Amino acid sequence: MKLQMVGCSHHNSSVQIRERLAFSPDQARLALEKWRERFPQSEAVLLSTCNRVELYLAAESPACCPSHHDVVEFVASFHGLNAVDIFDDLFERTGEDAIRHLFTVAASLDSMVVGEAQILSQVKQAYELAQAGNSTGPLTHLAFQAAIRVAKRVASETAINQKRVSIPSVAVADFARQFCERFDDKQVLVIGAGEMGEETLRYLIDEGASQITIINRRRERAEGLAERTAGQVAAWEQLTDLLVEADLVVSTTGSTQPIVTEEQFREISRRRFERPLFILDLAVPRDFDPQIGRYDGVYLYSLDDLSAVCQKNRRARDKEWPKAERIIEEETARFLAELHHRATGPTIRRLKSLADEVKRDELERLLNKLASLDDRSRLEIERSFDRLVNKLLHPPLESLRDEASAGTPHGLLEALKRLFQLSD
């Protein structure tokens, strides 16, 4: 049998490459259909997120599993690309390395933001999509069910998922959640349309935010962000009125001067009637005059406030990392042992069946010649035959189990098949 993964991620490929290779859910469904047509004996699960595109493949016979080159050709053909241009971006993992990689991905140890919760649901969705399209099989079922179990172990037995280390994740989870019990009823204003603002907005949307307004000096950039995420776009000139209505503000512009001075905010505050306002000023230099944080009902946090929490979380997470790695290694070894036992099971059953058949034939022949034996004597002879067969089979079967536990049963397995003429 063979297990393999071919793909790319944020570790080795630029966002431009990942965008060209990404699959929407409809494209993934179509790609898996085409995969079944081209490689009918190969199981497949396609995982495509903003940070990775990975094909997990398996086959009972290694000859039925496509090569690295075959997979690259398939992906390139689907997207209308030249395989030569993307070959170096699509790396391969096989066997134990492929399983370890899957477990690491599902547990969010390979994510851009380690510990983020989205990846496990994305792994589940990819598996369910492949199941719905009949692209999975025994090996991928075992692998992905184990990956989900591993991710849950890492989440429950370590604090990796609790130690957020990106500015946007800390901004929402460690700061905004203290201010808001819920987000679906809050007026959210996003000022600026850069990467930091987009990532923070995505976290807010995941928390339930839906009343979102985006403004940017270049309106087309705000419109692009709204298309990629959610919300409506307003004109930059409406900034003051929008600040009057907002409950939560995320500001990430590239302005060299504050976009809201204390003098400007004085009028805004008067119109708000001291209604609480939470401001995440993630810009450098700062978008909001620090003195604004002194106003009643205003909770103003800058990048420095969040960075301090990020550093503290990173140190705490680093302490948890070895625990998570040990879980990955334990579960990888456990999975491979189960897989190898599964591989040796049919041969063991066939060998026992052959021995039982020979034993029955010889026992029947002997007992027919000794027809005058009483029942007690017949039973003792049958037990002697059973013990003889068990003692003869015990050493080779014990050796096969030991090899399976060590992950190297294939040589001995093939030798037993040839010695005892056991057909597949």
Q: Would you name the residues annotated as active-site residues? A: 50
| Alpha-carbon gap, residue 368 to 67, rounded angstroms | 58
Residues 299 and 179: beta-carbon distance below 8 Å:
yes
Residues 118 and 206: beta-carbon distance below 8 Å:
yes
Diameter over CA atoms, the chain: 116
Count of beta carbons in the 10 Å neighbourhood of residue 292: 22
Which structure tokens are listed for 12?
């080795």
Handedness of CA 198, 204, 209, 213 (dihedral sign): negative
End-to-end Cα spacing for the chain: 13
Could you tell me whether strands 187-191 and 91-94 are parallel, antiparallel, or unpaired per DSSP bridges? unpaired
115 Rama sector, left if φ>0, alpha if ψ -120 to 50, beta otherwise = left
| Alpha-carbon gap, residue 345 to 424, rounded angstroms | 12
297 Rama sector, left if φ>0, alpha if ψ -120 to 50, beta otherwise = left
Which structure tokens are listed for 57?
């493949």
* DSSP one-letter code for 288: B
For the chain, what's the residue count? Answer: 424
Strand order in the sheet with 248-251: 232-233, 211-215, 187-191, 248-251, 277-281, 298-302
Q: What Rg do the C-alpha atoms of the chain give, in angstroms? A: 31
Residues 111 and 51: beta-carbon distance below 8 Å:
yes
